[in-house]
Amino acid sequence: MHPAFSVLTFTVMSGAGYGLAALLILGHLLGINSLQDSSVLLTSGILALVLITLGLLCSMGHLANPKNAWRAFNRFKTSWLSREGVFAVLFYPFFLIYLIGIWTQGAEINGFFSILGLLAALIAIVTLFCTSMIYASLKTIRQWNSSLTPLNYIVLGLMSGSVVLAAIQASLSGSASSILYQLATALLVLGAIAKVIYLFWIGKPAGSTINTATGFTQASVRLLDQGHSSNGFLNNEFGYTVEANKIVCLRVLMLVVAFLIPFLLLLSGSSTLIVIAALLTVGGLLVERWLFFAEARHVVRLFHGDQRT
């Protein structure tokens, strides 16, 4: 699949944003000490809003006819994209009211604000899930059509959010909160495991082949002509191909940048390095997301000559 920059930035930024929002609310309400500081909460909250909003704006960039974007809420009944849109919008009032509560009442907010905050955290995670299901629901792309996809999206969203949260907390208070560090470290490990499982899983041959696509299952099938000599919409959208060794390099790069180095930096416990860790995680996840698309092989490719997906 063609890794459209708009979609990469959207999913990575909003993923981090929702993860950050969810964690800060939950951490705050669960009474984690270092999160009982309204400046940390407000700063993180605003950053989450910025990330989410920028992400959503990026996603608009993916639309070829954005003037109809408002219609995207219409098919909540069946469309994960529609659901994502609805929850993404729904998140704002809950989260904003929660932040207003922090702003007006400090970390000691009342029950009304707490409940709204809790709902905002829930919506953030649901939104992440909806985003992932846009991809996971596509039977046409076997690399996505799996419960590993929502797992990855949610874990990686929370993971990047946790590192950002730890970084903000450390920067503002000058000293690192060990519980946030531990949370981020744990999520980095969990994220890395989820990702590695995913990489192993997509490595197994499975799914449709050029034989099932064309209906000739008894013999080899080769494409002679795709019927148009310039690459069209289908080729551009689905025909994206990366050399195998480049894939390997990028996978290593991703694992190192998004997971390993942040993990090591976190172990150092330095509050400066953790900001770098946060930047690297988000940057690394851009590579992760790029690979998520670039390695996904749509079945239309079979009609254009691929032997299998």
Partner 1 sequence: MKLGLVIDLDTCVGCHGCATACKQWNTSGTIGPLADKDPYGREPVGSWLNRIRSYEVDDSPNSKTVHMPMSCMHCDDADCVTVCPTGASYKREEDGIVLVDQDKCMGCNLCSWACPYGARELDPDQGVMKKCTLCVDRIYDEKLPEAERQPACVLTCPTKSRVFGDFDDPESEVSKLVRERAGKALMPELGYNPVNTYLPPRNKPVQDQIDTASLKDTVKGWVNKIIAR
Partner 2 sequence: MSTVKQQAPLNEVSQAQADIIAKDLPEFEEHAKQDIKYTTCYMCACRCGIKVTVEDNKVRFIQGNPNHPINKGVLCAKGNSGIMKQYSPAKLSAPLLRKPGTERGAGEFEEISWDQALDMLEKRLRRIRETDPKQLAYFTGRDQMQALTGMWASQFGTINWAAHGGFCSVNMAAGGLYTMGHAFWEFGDPDWENTKYFMMWGVAEDHSSNPIKLGLKRLKERGAKFVSVNPVRTGYQAIADEWVAIRPGTDGILALSMAHVLLKHQLVDEEFLVRYTNSPQLVMMKPGEVGDGLFYRGDSEVPQVWDLQKEAFVDSNLPDITPALFGEYTAPDGTKLKTAMSLLIEKYMDEQYSPEVAAKECGVPAEDIERMALEMAHVAFKETITIDVEWTDWAGRKQDKFIGRPVSMHAMRGIAAHSNGFQTCRAIHMLQTLLGTIDCPGGHLAKPPFPKHVPPGIKPAKEMAPMTPLKSPPLGFPTCPEDLAINEDGSPRRIDKAYSWDAPISCHGLMHMVISNAVKGDPYKIDTLMIFMANMAWNSSMNTAQTIDMLTAKEDDGEYKIPFIVCSDAFNSEMVAYSDLVLPDTTYLERFDTISMLDRPISEPHAACDSVRIPVIKPDRDVMSWQEVMVEMAGRLDFPAFTKEGGERKYKDYKDFIVNFEKEPGIGFLAGYRGKDGEKSLRGEPNPRQWEAYEENEGFFEMHFDMNQRYMRHANLDYLKLAKEAAWVGNTNQIVIELYSEKLQTFRLAGQGLYDGPMPTEEHHKERLVKYFDPLPIYYMPLEEQRIDREEYPYHAVNQRPMFMYHSWDSQNAWLRQIMSQNYLFMNRVAAERDGIEDLSWVWVESHNGKIRCQVKLMEGTNEQTVWTWNAIAKRGGAWGLDEDVKENKDGFLMNHLISELLPQKGDNMDRVTNSDPVTGQAAWYDLRVKITPAAPGETGSWPTFDALKAQPNAKQSPKMLSYSSHKNVNLLRSLSDILTRGDK
- Residue numbers 139-198 binding partner 1 by CB under 8 A: 139-141
H/E run at residue 277: helix 271-294
Q: Rule CB under 8 A: is residue 227 a binding residue for partner 2?
A: yes
> Which residue in 46, 50, 63, 186 binds partner 1 (CB under 8 A)?
63
**What are the C-alpha distances in Å from 73 to residues 69, 119, 184?**
8, 20, 34
**Which of the listed partners (partner 2, partner 1, none) does 62 bind, with a CB threshold of 5 to 8 Å by partner kind?**
partner 1
Residue with smaller CB distance to partner 1, 112 or 216? 216
CB of residue 94 to partner 2, shortest distance in Å:
24
CB neighbourhood size of 298 (10 A): 22
Binding of partner 2 by 224 (CB under 8 A): yes
As given in the structure block, the two tokens for residue 248 are 């390997």
Contact of residue 245 among partner 1, partner 2, none (CB under 5-8 Å per partner type): none
Tokens of 223: 């494409």
The CB-of-55 to partner 1 minimum distance in angstroms stands at: 15
Residue 162, amino acid: S
- What whole-number distance in Å separates Cα of residue 308 and Cα of residue 30? 49
- Binding pattern to partner 1, positions 245-284, x when CB under 8 A? ----------------------------------------
CB of 224 to partner 2, least distance (A): 6
**Phi, psi angles (nearest 5°) of residue 3:** -80, 90
Amino acid making up residue 283: G
The tokens for 76 are: 């909540």
Contacts of 44 (CB under 8 A, 6+ apart): 20, 21, 24, 164, 165, 168, 169
The SS3 of residue 141 is: strand
Q: Which of partner 1, partner 2, none does 300 bind, CB closer than 5 to 8 A by kind?
A: partner 1
81 binds, among partner 1, partner 2, none (CB under 5 to 8 A by kind): partner 1
Region from 17-25, 169-177, 256-264, 299-307 binding partner 1, contact rule CB under 8 A: 299-307
Q: Dmax of the chain from CA atoms?
A: 72
| SS3 label, residue 305 | coil
User: Which residues would be at the binding site for partner 1 (CB under 8 A)?
Assistant: 1, 62-69, 71-75, 78-82, 85, 134, 137-141, 208, 212-216, 219-228, 230-234, 237-238, 298-300, 302-304
